[in-house]
Structure 1
Amino acid sequence: MRIAVIGAGALGGTFTALLARAGHDVTVTARGAGLAAIRADGIRLSGGFGDVHARPTALEQLTESPELTLVCTKAQDAEAAIAQNAAVIDGGAVIVVQNGLDGVKTAGRLLPRSDSFGALSIIAANYTEPGAVRVTTAAPTYLGRGSGPVDAETRRWQSVLNDAVPTVAQPNFVGAQWTKLVVNMLNALPAITGLSVQTVVDDGGLRRVMTASMREAVQVGVGRGVRFGAFQALGDARLRAFRHLPLTLGQVLPLQMRRRMGSVPNLGSTLQSVTRGQLTEIDFLNGAVVREGRLAGVPTPVNALLTALVHEVEASGAFVAPAEVLNRYAAL
């Protein structure tokens, strides 16, 4: 099958390599050093899914219409990337592999003739250098659309992806996006401090801040009338109960997530963006909680603080010491 992957970062590189290994004809878009590296020596994938050396076609912009397109850019780059390639991908199936809440809606607006789906990936992968990705946690990807049961087209594309990477057809996909948003509260503090996700969760003070950001996200979701989707051993009943727990007891949630990560340092996608000197997608993670909180009339001071701190790190290039993070949190 002719498959295009837009974006050759950690997840884009992972999907490109695994789809090529499964026998698909894959074209990937990239820029700058990434494009040059892939053209010269392909993509080298290592870690959880095994070693793969794929040699996909690499372009700055797609020139031929694929049967399936995966959009694997950061959330803030999705609209421009989809628009740039709309002339050739509109009319084919499109899967947006992305954090945040808006990706599928953006694709649907820009590609009116396409079937648009969302994919939630919990694969942890580090973009080690242009053309090289290491998977630190191999995990399934969850594919779906809308708030209802899984439809036939979702099952069709789930079958295609499942040949390359474990893929689950996800009912109530919109609710699952909100559940994933809660999980993505793992990302901000590593980007602020420069520490791995595991190290942040192991620090009692930082873990408390992380738990507070997760609780706010759940409270906002409830305020917006969301029925959380079942995802990563989380679901609606459990998250609704979590929002009532004191922070001391609620810390079991990030601790359970940490146990599933193993011992290989998980940098988180937001920290990886910071270390590469790129803007992060924090406005689509913690920032999304703040925006949705305004609409729901739910205060979100912790997520507002974490969003602001990530932007400070982006601007200064310097990480914030954990003690200073805790001081800023205490001042709330």
Structure 2
Amino acid sequence: MRIGIVGAGALGTLFGHRLAAGNDVVLLEQRREIVDAIARDGLQVDGESRAARATTEARELFGVQVLFVFVRATDTLRAVRPFVNELSPATAIVSLQNGLGNEEAIKTSLGSTISLAIGATTESALTLGPGQARRVGDGSTVLGSAGASPEACNRVARLLADAGFRASTAYDIRPHLWGKLIANAAINPVSALLERPNGVVLTDVYAGEVARSLAQEAATVANAMRIPLPFTDPWSYVRSIVEQTAELDNSMLYDLRSGVPTEVDFINGAVVAAGRRAAVTTPYNETLAALVHAREGTRERDAST
């Protein structure tokens, strides 16, 4: 099967490497050093190298049968815009991105009738270098329809399972999206602002208390929206995710260090926006979103001096 992957970061590398075992995989990546490294050394995960193609040209992915989107939520519109009117109607588009709003961004660019599957994954990977990653923990992926037929969702789930991932489908993907959103909202801004790996949420009592409050607040919003979460205790769920990814610097911390916009508006900001619609106050998520934006501004000012 011809598979396209938009974004060759840690997860794009991990999924591309696994899928390349039995498929023709091509990755779209704007960073030239990553494209060159993949061309030279293939995709390397856990010390194993597999051949795959990488390009900076979107047109090389126009003929794929499945298109995975792994870019930051802040980059979704830009990343998928080159595919307007270029993909087959039968091409399954799969978003496994963080936060809420990616479905709307993809449909804004490509149209509302596309075969789109939205997923929530707890797979984690640590970037070791361009085109190189190490899988962390043993995650799982759940897919649901945002326009894709049940058959298309099942086909993608089988594709991932054949590549060695734990993958399944759900009739209603919202509970799983909100489950991941709650974990991201609780973990990412706390460890990012402290400039520490995710494990700080468990090792520092104050960080843990803030994370617990963020998780509970987000779960209250979900409950007000009558979204049946896939767990009964949000803090226990968050702790299980932290235990799996304790050594990782999450994407929000990476973005702050890199001086690029974070996904905070699609994570904590999404909780705040949903809370307003559901008449639920969200002071913790609102405050953490503001602090992350303040840190973004500080980094921008530091870079300009």
- TM-score, normalised to structure 1's length? 0.81
Q: What whole-Å deviation, never above 9, does each CA across 1:9-45 have from its counterpart, x for those lacking one? A: 1111111111102x10011001122223223322211
Contact 2:255 2:262 in 1 (8 A): yes
Tell me the residue number matched to 2:82. 84
What amino acid sits opposite 1:255 in the alignment? R
Segments of structure 1 that go 5 or more residues without pairing to the other structure are 243-250, 319-332
The one-letter amino acid of 2:58's match is L
C-alpha distance in 1 between matches for 2:139 and 2:240: 16
SS across alignment from 2:98 = coil
Deviations 1:252-292 (CA, angstroms, capped at 9, x unpaired):
55434434x17x61222212222333321111011111111
In the alignment, the residues of structure 2 paired with residue 284 and residue 210 of structure 1 have an alpha-carbon distance, to the nearest angstrom, of 17
Matched, 1:30 2:29: yes
Which whole-Å deviations, capped at 9, do the CAs of 1:48-87 have from their partners, x for residues lacking one?
A: xxx4312322111322311110011111111111112233
Aligned to 2:161: 162
Question: Residue 292 of structure 2 aligns with which residue?
Answer: 310
Spell out the pairing of 1:261-280 with structure 2 (5 A cutoff). Answer: 261=244, 265-280=247-262
Pair 1:199–1:283, CA change in 2 (3 A): same
Change (3 A) 1:136 1:187: same
Report the CA distance between 1:125 and its aligned residue: 1.1
Match in the other structure for 1:120:
120
CA distances 1:144-172 after superposition (whole Å, capped 9, x unpaired): 1259xx93332122111211122121231
Query: Contact 1:68 / 1:93 at 8 angstroms: preserved in 2?
Result: yes
Alignment CA distance shift 1:65-1:256 (3 Å): closer
Show the counterpart of 1:299: 281
Change (3 A) 1:108 1:45: same
Please give the root-mean-square deviation of Cα atoms over the aligned residues, in Å. Answer: 2.2
SS at 1:187 equivalent: helix
Q: Which residue of 1 aligns with 2:45?
A: 45
Query: Alignment partner of 1:265: what SS?
Result: coil
Tell me if the contact between 2:123 and 2:139 (Cα under 8 Å) persists in the aligned partners: yes
**Would you say the 8 A contact 1:211–1:253 is kept in 2?**
no
Instruction: Give the structure 1 partner of residue 242 of structure 2.
Output: 258
Match of 1:153? 152
Residue in structure 2 matched with residue 104 of structure 1 by the alignment: 103
Distance (whole Å) between structure 2 residues aligned to residue 70 and residue 8 of structure 1: 11
Relative distance call for 1:94 and 1:252 in structure 2 (3 A) is closer
Q: Matched residues in 2 for 1:130 and 1:140: separation? A: 24
Counterpart in 2 of 1:180? 180
Give a deviation string over 1:156-190, Cα, whole Å, max 9, x none.
Answer: 22111211122121231022211211111211111
**How far, CA to CA, are the matches of 2:14 and 2:65 in structure 1?**
19
- Distance in 2, Cα, partners of 1:35 & 1:124: 21
Q: Distance in 2 between matches of 1:72 and 1:226?
A: 28
Q: Indicate the SS of the match to 2:49.
A: strand
Distance in structure 1 (CA, Å) of the matches to 2:159 and 2:240: 31
Match of 1:325 in 2: none
Structure 1 window deviating more from structure 2 (85-94 vs 181-190): it is: 85-94
Inter-partner Cα distance in structure 2 for 1:253 and 1:58? 36
**Deviation of the 1:129 alpha carbon:** 2.2
Question: Structure 2 vs 1, CA of residues 146 and 29 (structure 1 numbering), >3 Å: closer, same or farther?
Answer: closer
Q: 1:14 to 1:202 in 2, by over 3 A?
A: same
Relative to the length of structure 2, the TM-score reads: 0.88
Matched, 1:59 2:55: yes
Q: Which residue of 2 aligns with 1:330?
A: none
Q: 1:156 to 1:254 in 2, by over 3 A?
A: closer
Contact 1:179 1:228 in 2 (8 A): no
CA contact (8 A) 1:90 1:111 kept: no
Q: Give the match for residue 327 of structure 1.
A: none
